[in-house]
Amino acid sequence: METDIALEQILQIRPAQKQALKKLAIESAKDLLYHFPARYETTGKAKTVVELSAGMQAVVFGRVSGLKTKKAFIKKIPMAEASLTDETGSIKIVWFHQPYLAKMLGEGSLVRLEGKVTERKGTLYFSNPKVERVDKIPRATDNLFGKEADAHTLYPVYPETRGVTSNWIYYGVQKVIQTGILDELKDPLPEALRKKYHLPGLKTAFIWIHAPKNEADALSARKRFAFEEIFFIQLEKQQERARFAKEAGFSIAINENEFKDFVARFPFKPTDGQTRAIEMIQKDFKKPHPMARLLEGDVGSGKTFVAAVTAHTVVTSRPAGQDFGNLQVAYMAPTEVLARQQFESFIQYFAHIGINVGLITGSGCQKFPSKINPRATTDISRTQLLKWVANGEIPILVGTHALIQKSVRFKHLAYVVIDEQHRFGTGQRQTLANKEAFKPHLLSMTATPIPRTLALTIYGDLDLTVLDEMPAGRKPVITEIVSPERRKVVYEEIRKELAVGRQAYVICPRINEPDPSKELALLAKSVTEEAVRLKREIFPEYEIAIMHSKMKNEEKESVMNEFKSGKIKILVSTSVVEVGVNVVNATIIIIEGAERFGLAQLHQLRGRVVRSTKQAFCYIFTETKSKNSVARLKALQTAKNGFELAEHDLQFRGSGELYGRKQWGLSDVAMEALKNIKMVEAARTEAHELIEKDPELKKNSALAEKLSEKKEIHFE
Ligand code: ADP
Ligand code: MG
């Protein structure tokens, strides 16, 4: 039997459901099997209404009726009310602050309710219970995968989407398993590895994850799937790495004196981190194979310096067997603005040694120095630039992704630097690294704060170097966690800063309309409302504007320009300001509803005001009374860098909330497993050893097969 059999052959699927399934990326029977539960509930806890008593924490199933919304008698809190009825009786339900629940549930729907039973004046009711719509009321006698369910049977809860409920998936999976498909599946994990790490086989793992007898089995299955996924990612990355490392590269000797002179021209002393990074890179340069290295460092940690110093080593070297010409460097930046900025920095660093620097972007090309004025840049044609790059007369070429076009050819491209590498796909990185037959050394740089386990996984083909300290003398941003009572006082402090000409960002978690899918969103401040409120009640004397992702590009640009010019004093925005914004005079950032953001993201936002030597302030406004939330936010005052904060996020919020969650392309189980450094390292080590012994997996055809299958569905 084919294992990628279409689902329709097993299940009845309505057209609307088919669309919904597609949204969950489920098309085949195998896809459905790989759609794992998000969590488990015990059906054993479920009670009938007649069994309930005050103080009990309980689960009941039944039909909802009498839904209505109103304002509570005391304090006029908006609330929803309803009753739940099963065959034994009815019980009242109230939800404070969540009147939209009434609209969402729908009269007469079947639900699963979980919460505390409370008593008031002799009447029992559920107050703010968790509620979930269900298709069918499960019975303790339900046939769960052929087993009689006992009181402790775990009941899987699947990620759902409109049109496909958790229950539908549950019965779908059961049907798929009944076809006997599990006996057809080949286990891609080698038996030796399964034994070594005590991982269940594929068939067992599928049963344990979809219908576990106990938590331990479910966990064991999840661990297996996580290991499998990370192991195959590692296998792929390590294979790429091994292939790249075998290529012939430029072996570059370091001229210590020239190097020292170049470093001495900078107006600062390198940090220990920078020195270490430079040494590592230079060590790699000496080898006859290309380097592939990732340099991670917070915004402002001085990555450009590392790139410039190492680029200097390259461009002052001669091509092998030649006593003229230079090796070349390509420096790719994600935006035109950044490319231009970098072009200008490089001119400043390299002008004194008489090196030509070129700039290529979508909107034109430039060269330094100009023939007429040795201190100025000049516009040149693309054709001219490409000619000089191809014959080696321009040793340093800075650009946007215009750099990776086929028409750009180098004479001796020996070093490729990619700035803010997370903004480019892996493919673009490889295109640049593979431009010429002789492979250049590659340095990727990123400021995205991600945990080490994630970096090791998604950048498994690169060696990792971290710049973990900021240059000395940098004034840290004064960061205050502001409780509701302090709000007024803080506004007055901000007013003083604005009065001496500074500007402020105000970040809100949402744009305007409430988002019914998230309970908390209802309470979060919105950009549009907050801008009006600030203008009316707090800062009527200042120009205030808004910015968010739903605005047109021209609108955004014009707001940004007015903010840069100082016309707008306060910019109320969603987190879109996170990237690419650079307004030196904006030294204040207020973050509303801070508990809704991850620490790493808050740190990135705060980075917006670390732009000058002026003292900067970050005010973290939170409405939460929870001690844990406040303690979590306090890490912003103590953590040394964004990477440390990313680790905090991983431990305390879980991987689901990790900054940049969606862009890594990992499944939920693999993301969960990132908490487990031992497992990630084991998967990495095993993959590494395998590839060392058998680089093309000739002796491991099952692995090679799985890998090629994986590549086909690779999306980026
Ligand atoms: P990023 O890592 O974000 O790319 P940059 O390279 O742009 O950081 O550096 C930020 C600023 O810090 C620049 O103005 C740079 O000249 C300065 N800088 C870099 N290294 C040091 C250092 N060791 N001491 C003092 N200032 C430094
Ligand atoms: Mg930078």
- DSSP for 307-350? HHHHHHHHHTSPPTT-SSS--EEEEE-SSHHHHHHHHHHHHHHH
Distance 278 CA to ligand 1 centre (A): 14
Is the pLDDT higher at 137 or at 619? Answer: 619
| Contacts with 53 (C-beta within 8 Å, 6 or more apart), sequence order | 117, 124
Beta strands in 539-637 (DSSP E): 544-547, 570-573, 586-591, 617-621
CA of 265 to the centre of ligand 1 (A): 14
Could you tell me the pTM of the whole model? 0.75
- Please answer whether residues 580 and 606 qualify as being in contact, where contact means their C-beta atoms are separated by less than 8 angstroms: no
The ligand 1 atom at the shortest distance from the C-alpha of residue 473 is 25
Q: What confidence score (pLDDT) does residue 143 get?
A: 43
Higher pLDDT, 510 or 266: 266
Cβ 357 vs Cβ 367: under 8 Å: yes
Cα-trace Rg, the chain:
30
Domain range summary for the chain, segments of one domain joined by +: 39-186, 256-286+302-446, 478-640
**pLDDT tens digits, one per residue of 280-301:** 999 999 999 999 999 999 888 8
Closest alpha carbon to 609 in 267, 299, 295, 297: 299
For residues 4 and 346, the model is more confident at 346
Q: Using alpha carbons, list the distances in angstroms from residue 413 to 315, 331, 428, 436.
A: 10, 11, 16, 7
In sequence order, the 6+-apart residues with CB closer than 8 A to the CB of 257 are none
604: its two tokens: 């990135």
Which atom of ligand 1 is nearest to 301's Cα? 2
- pLDDT > 80? residue 620: yes
Centroid of ligand 2 to alpha carbon of 301 (angstroms): 8
φ, ψ dihedrals at 292, nearest 5°: -140, 100
298 Cα: distance to centroid of ligand 2 (angstroms): 9
Please name which of 341, 337, 354 lies closest in space to residue 307, comparing C-alpha atoms.
341
Q: Is the pLDDT of residue 150 over 80?
A: no
Number of H-type helices and E-type strands within the chain: 23, 26
Confidence check: pLDDT of 614 > 90: no
Which pLDDT belongs to residue 151?
Answer: 42
Residue 244: CB atoms within 10 Å: 20
297 lines ligand 1 (CB under 6 A): yes
Which CATH architecture best describes the domain 256-286+302-446? 3-Layer(aba) Sandwich (3.40)
Mutual angle of helices 303-315 and 336-350, in 10-degree steps: 60
State the angle between helix axes of 599-606 and 642-652 in degrees (0 to 180), rounded to the nearest 10.
Answer: 150
C-alpha to C-alpha distances, 430 to 240, 312, 360, 611, 666, nearest whole angstrom: 10, 23, 19, 32, 21
- Equal fold, 39-186 vs 256-286+302-446: no
Q: What is the pLDDT of residue 524?
A: 76
443 CB-contact burial (10 Å; exposed 0-12 / middle 13-18 / buried 19+): buried
Q: Which residues contact 594 (CB under 8 A, 6 or more apart)?
A: 481, 602, 620, 621, 622, 633
Burial class (CB in 10 A: 0-12, 13-18, 19+), 536: exposed
Task: State whether the beta carbon of 642 lies less than 6 angstroms from ligand 1.
Answer: no
Fold of the 478-640 domain: Rossmann fold (3.40.50)
The pLDDT, as a whole number, for residue 16 is: 82
Residue 139, both tokens: 């019975």
- Report which of residues 154 and 327 the model is more confident about: 327
Question: What are 496's two structure tokens?
Answer: 């003083």
Between the two ends of the chain, the Cα-to-Cα distance in Å is 31
Q: How many CB atoms lie within 10 A of CB 26?
A: 21
Residue nearest to atom 5 of ligand 1 (CA): 302
105 Cα to the center of ligand 1, angstroms: 54
pLDDT tens digits for range 553-588:
889 888 988 998 999 999 999 887 655 556 889 999
Any ligand 1 atom below 6 A from CB of 301:
yes
Distant-in-sequence, close-in-space partners of 235: CB < 8 Å, separation ≥ 6 = 687, 690, 691, 697, 703, 707
**According to the model, what pLDDT value does residue 426 have?**
67
pLDDT band at 328 (very low <50, low <70, confident <90, very high): very high
Ligand number, closest to the Cα atom of 333:
2
Of 263, 275, 296, 304, the residue with max ligand 1 atoms within 8 A of its CB, to mutate for a pocket test, comes to 304
Q: What is the mean pLDDT of residues 482-501?
A: 93
Q: Reply yes or no on whether the pLDDT at 234 is more than 90.
A: yes
User: Which one of 263, 276, 295, 305 would you pick to mutate in the ligand 1 pocket, going by the greatest count of ligand atoms within 8 A of its CB?
Assistant: 305
Q: Are the C-beta atoms of residues 208 and 182 closer than 8 Å to each other? A: no
pLDDT for the residue 629: 84
In the CATH scheme, what is the code of domain 39-186? 2.40.50.140
